[in-house]
Structure 1
Amino acid sequence: MIPALVLLAAVAALTAHTVVNATAWLRRPGAGPVEVTEAVAVLLPLRDEADRVTPCLRALLAQRGVPELRIMVLDDGSTDGTADVVRAVAGDDPRVTLLTGVTLPPGWLGKPHACWQLATRTDPAPTALAFVDADVVLTPYAVAAAVTELHAAGATLLSPYPRILVRTAADRLVQPLLQWLWLTFLPLRAMERSPRPSLAAAGGQFLVVDRAGYLRAGGHAAVADRVLEDIELARAVKRSGGRIALADGSRLAACRMYDSWPQLRDGYSKSLWASFGHPAAAAAVVTLLLLLYTAPPLIAVWLAPTARPVSLVVLVAYLLGVVGRAVSARATGGRAWPDALAHPVSVVVLGWLTLRSYHLRRRRRLTWRGRPVG
């Protein structure tokens, strides 16, 4: 009974932490009309995005509340006609500048290099930069609201996590884990106040930075070879004396990250090894997650005929884990029910993806967008 009670207490504490983060500390910029007076550049790196850039770019052209808005687009060696799509959508809008990326230098990965080119080729220099991925669609006041929240937080970098769109069973199993992990395990208020780089999180789909602070941190040049360039950029900002903040950006942006299971599988596989670092750390974390969130329903069923009290305790632990998953989904614009009931399966899939990530990295078979990573 004691191990079961310990398990219950651990899951209860983590779920309580999720609730506190979601209800007390998570920033929630509104999507209503707001206006900023400073110059803002939206930076859009593209590589073979012809089939998905149109909604993103149209949303950028429809932005309001930013009188001095520039939209900088970089075609990073696309072979599918991405640049032609950009020209067709943007027309002769003077706010849009289409750049052609230069050859990837040694020691750089594609995404950091594309972002760095965009950040350093804006002229005249804006006060704030907003990095947006091609799979993100912003609401009309998203950029103005994010810049306003950046200043309200007193931060150098703000990460407003978009609402993640899910359509398939694989989406529903895996994608909500992004928000659940940081809402459950990351103390948001301490992260904002602490100068420690290890207390950092960010999502590269939509990032807003103060340009001066971004350059002071070294910008994307400081994370040139990092797979998780978004988190590493947040850490670089902290190391330079800046502050970072997270926000629920579900009212500002929506993101359909992957169109198929192979894309989702490969997308997570390319970066999970970088999330955990040493394989031993990954093994410890995944084992702990499996014990806390996957084992309880299995134990409850196994012990039900012979040890009903213990079975009930671990069943409550499972239900508390489900509650934590549902709370994180509701707090970030996601789908709570019935998806949260499958949380133990989600953790198993995460464990398998992590194992696959390390396996492919050891064999030097990790690639993304036709380029090697890791």
Structure 2
Amino acid sequence: MIIVIAITFFFIILRFAVTLFNFISDPKLRRVNRPYNDMVSILIPVRNEEENILNLLQSIHQQDYQDYEVIILDDDSTDRTFGLCTAFAAAHSNFRVIKGDNLARGWLGKNYACHQLAEQARGNFFLFIDADEQMSKGLINSAIHRMYMQKLALLSLFANQQMLTIGEKLVVPLMHYILLNLLPLRLIYLVKNYSVAAASGQFMLFDAETYRSNLWHEQVKDKVVEDVEIMRLVKASGYNGEALMANGMVNCRMYKNYTDAVNGFSKNFLAAFSYNVLWFLIYIVFIIGGPMMVMITLNFQLIFFMAGLIILTRIMISLSAGQNAWYNIILHPLQMLSLTLIAFLAIQRHLTKTIIWKGRRI
């Protein structure tokens, strides 16, 4: 028991230290006023996104950046997505819509859609962005400035998450919670070893020349979490990559309810552990089981110390991610129960190869 509790506190303190580093280093994209005129190809893969796509397209149209093209690839949608995009493009000359080819053998859907989009793009930068997002003014100039300043081949941003229902609030904050207390984001750029990598497919900005030379999506054509794999490839190839918080310039509502959020997260969580089920289980045991072991000791000094570290961690991560700290503190126990469910489903679906997303088996 003593050994378990000692390891638990070591794990909690280590995660607190990582969170503190991220909070102090503040890894966010900074707004800049310097104007750029590089051609940016904004590339959007869509599949059954009739509820979201117009919000994204309108936010792009309202950008204060002028030199861009938007290419939307419809990946066999069965709803009104294609019609809505076509009508919008007809009224805006720098928007166009294409139909995706039938899914090629050996590819996953999104990866193949992004590959096709890149073949059509003519910009100096390729910006891949998901259909459930909205962009704020200043985003493109700020992102291009960062690309030049850091000499990046890839800049990825973690979007601010919009959560309207209690179900979303029980699941979606787990993304930033795990990210910001496991990995110091600044190290993605500073450490050249490819093993230190993270990225979000919600916003991937590439130097176009480097992309054309390497065809990153083709190299990860069968990877479920292609964003992290691409960041690893970028760094392994000797290029600079960086991942930052979006700082309010990209907003996203990933899911609309608890069930969708649990299913969506269970698709991706194992990727953070390179699909090593043992390490994933060890992490889950210590992040959830460890605090429970401390609680049953009834040692109030240990309990208060542990609770204080967890609460401070939740506050720092919430502020960094632009989330409500009070909600995350109050809902923390229920979020941990949700994490347990997600872990079970992630392992079960990985071992049985029964992951299905947007109607396709992955």
Q: What TM-score do the two structures reach when normalised by structure 1?
A: 0.90
Helix, strand or coil: the match of 1:268? helix
* Pairing 1:319–2:308 present: yes
Q: For residues 50 and 359 of structure 1, what CA distance do their matches in structure 2 show?
A: 31
8 Å Cα contact 2:111/2:226 also seen in 1: yes
Q: For residues 328 and 36 of structure 1, what CA distance do their matches in structure 2 show?
A: 32
8 Å Cα contact 1:53/1:134 also seen in 2: yes
8 Å Cα contact 2:129/2:202 also seen in 1: yes
Partner residue in 1 for 2:16: 15
8 Å Cα contact 2:170/2:258 also seen in 1: no
Q: Which moved more, 1:346-355 or 1:112-121?
A: 346-355
Helix, strand or coil: the match of 1:270? helix
8 Å Cα contact 1:155/1:244 also seen in 2: yes
Q: For residues 134 and 142 of structure 1, what CA distance do their matches in structure 2 show?
A: 16
Matches of residues 25-40 of structure 1 in structure 2 within 5 Å? 25-30=26-31, 33-40=33-40
Partner residue in 1 for 2:329: 340
* Pairing 1:246–2:246 present: no
Matches of residues 1-374 of structure 1 in structure 2 within 5 Å? 4=5, 7-30=8-31, 33-65=33-65, 67-122=66-121, 125-276=122-273, 277-292=275-290, 294-295=291-292, 299-300=294-295, 302-304=296-298, 310-373=299-362
Please give the per-residue CA displacement for 1:74-129, whole angstroms capped at 9, x wherever unaligned.
0111111211101222333211121110011110000111111111111xx21111
8 Å Cα contact 1:5/1:313 also seen in 2: no
Helix, strand or coil: the match of 2:325? coil
Deviation at 1:171, TM superposition (A): 1.7
Deviation at 1:6, TM superposition (A): 5.7
8 Å Cα contact 2:72/2:97 also seen in 1: yes
Q: For residues 275 and 313 of structure 1, what CA distance do their matches in structure 2 show?
A: 30
Q: For residues 28 and 101 of structure 1, what CA distance do their matches in structure 2 show?
A: 32
8 Å Cα contact 2:165/2:256 also seen in 1: no
Q: For residues 357 and 327 of structure 2, what CA distance do their matches in structure 1 show?
A: 32
Amino acid at match of 1:59: S
Deviation at 1:336, TM superposition (A): 1.0
8 Å Cα contact 2:318/2:328 also seen in 1: no
8 Å Cα contact 2:185/2:243 also seen in 1: yes
Q: What TM-score do the two structures reach when normalised by structure 2?
A: 0.93
8 Å Cα contact 1:217/1:239 also seen in 2: no
Q: For residues 28 and 22 of structure 1, what CA distance do their matches in structure 2 show?
A: 14
Q: For residues 69 and 102 of structure 1, what CA distance do their matches in structure 2 show?
A: 24
Q: Per the alignment, do residues 287 and 2 of structure 1 end up closer, same or farther by CA in structure 2, a change over 3 Å counting?
A: closer
8 Å Cα contact 1:42/1:131 also seen in 2: yes
Q: For residues 70 and 155 of structure 1, what CA distance do their matches in structure 2 show?
A: 21
CA RMSD of aligned residues (A): 2.0
Helix, strand or coil: the match of 1:271? helix
Amino acid at match of 1:351: T
8 Å Cα contact 1:130/1:206 also seen in 2: yes
Amino acid at match of 1:313: L
Partner residue in 2 for 1:307: none
Please give the per-residue CA displacement for 1:134-188, whole angstroms capped at 9, x wherever unaligned.
1000012212222222222222111121110112223222211212222211122
Percent of aligned positions that are identical: 26
Helix, strand or coil: the match of 1:286? helix
Deviation at 1:33, TM superposition (A): 4.3
8 Å Cα contact 2:86/2:96 also seen in 1: no
Q: Which moved more, 1:344-353 or 1:49-58?
A: 344-353
Q: For residues 97 and 6 of structure 1, what CA distance do their matches in structure 2 show?
A: 55
Amino acid at match of 2:28: R
8 Å Cα contact 2:103/2:112 also seen in 1: yes
Q: For residues 282 and 8 of structure 2, what CA distance do their matches in structure 1 show?
A: 16
Deviation at 1:2, TM superposition (A): 6.0
Q: For residues 266 and 190 of structure 2, what CA distance do their matches in structure 1 show?
A: 32
Q: Which moved more, 1:98-107 or 1:350-359?
A: 350-359
Q: Per the alignment, do residues 343 and 117 of structure 1 end up closer, same or farther by CA in structure 2, a change over 3 Å counting?
A: same
Deviation at 1:34, TM superposition (A): 4.2
Please give the per-residue CA displacement for 1:335-354, whole angstroms capped at 9, x wherever unaligned.
21132243243233213212
Amino acid at match of 1:166: M
Q: For residues 75 and 58 of structure 2, what CA distance do their matches in structure 1 show?
A: 20
Helix, strand or coil: the match of 2:251? strand
Deviation at 1:278, TM superposition (A): 2.5
Amino acid at match of 2:272: S
Q: Aligned residue pairs: how many? A: 360
Deviation at 1:26, TM superposition (A): 0.9
